[in-house]
């Protein structure tokens, strides 16, 4: 397979368009993921309504997929579990390693995450609303245990940070 399909945000208030994209060769340190499930996040909905939103973009930043191809040098997840083609994974874009948020273990403030990157630029397929997603070299990967359902794995991505963010916004104490 040389190409894949993805649903593309083409502008505020417009229906998503299914478009065809080339599947890039997997470079060292990168991973090609066959998408299994992507959540529709509130951020996607807000973006769809935002008249200043950038497009085209393949939405989908809360995802579960299976490894279709590992780039040379990608052997283990963040917990040291060995990775193989076919393993289900959770993932996010690797941080820059230089910003304040990276320094304290939070999401990078420099690198935009999957589901927010322009689909008209290489490697194109960087959102979960497609058949495949390309992880650029150095991604954060967590292998999903075999005995965990894909739905439960996805909810761990969606639920945990959303709930924690909500608690912080209403003034809750996460440390106590």
Expressed as residue numbers, the domain containing 64 is: 3-168
Q: Is residue 104 part of a domain?
A: yes
Query: What is the percent of the chain where pLDDT is above 90?
Result: 69
Do residues 75 and 123 make contact, with C-beta atoms less than 8 angstroms apart? no
Please state the domain count of the chain.
Answer: 1
3-state helix, strand, coil in the chain (%, to 5): 20, 25, 55
Q: Is residue 173 part of a domain?
A: no
pLDDT in tens, 120-168: 999 999 999 999 999 999 998 999 999 999 999 988 877 666 666 677 7
3-state secondary structure of 16: coil
Q: Which of 102, 103, 88 has the alpha carbon at shortest distance from 31?
A: 88
Q: Give the separation between CA 15 and CA 3, rounded to whole angstroms.
A: 22
pLDDT in tens, 77-100: 999 999 999 999 999 887 788 888
Q: Is residue 176 part of a domain?
A: no
Q: Is residue 121 part of a domain?
A: yes
Q: Is residue 160 part of a domain?
A: yes
CATH number of the domain enclosing 95: 3.90.180.10
Q: Give the separation between CA 115 and CA 154, rounded to whole angstroms.
A: 15
């Amino acid at each position: 397979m040389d190409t894949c399909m993805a649903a593309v945000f083409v502008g505020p208030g417009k229906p998503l368009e299914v478009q065809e994209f080339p599947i890039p060769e997997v470079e060292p340190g990168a991973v090609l993921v066959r998408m299994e499930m992507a959540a529709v996040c509130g951020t996607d909905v807000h973006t769809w309504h935002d008249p200043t939103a950038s497009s085209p973009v393949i939405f989908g930043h809360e995802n579960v997929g299976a490894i279709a191809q590992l780039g040379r040098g990608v052997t283990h997840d963040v917990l040291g579990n060995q990775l193989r083609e076919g393993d289900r994974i959770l993932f996010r874009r690797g941080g820059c390693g230089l910003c304040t948020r990276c320094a304290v273990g939070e999401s990078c403030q420099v690198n935009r995450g999957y589901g927010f990157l322009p689909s008209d630029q290489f490697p194109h397929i960087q959102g979960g609303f497609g058949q495949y997603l390309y992880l650029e070299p150095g991604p954060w990967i967590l292998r999903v245990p075999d005995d965990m359902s894909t739905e439960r794995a996805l909810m761990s991505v969606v639920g945990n940070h959303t709930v924690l963010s909500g608690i912080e916004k209403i003034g809750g104490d996460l440390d106590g």
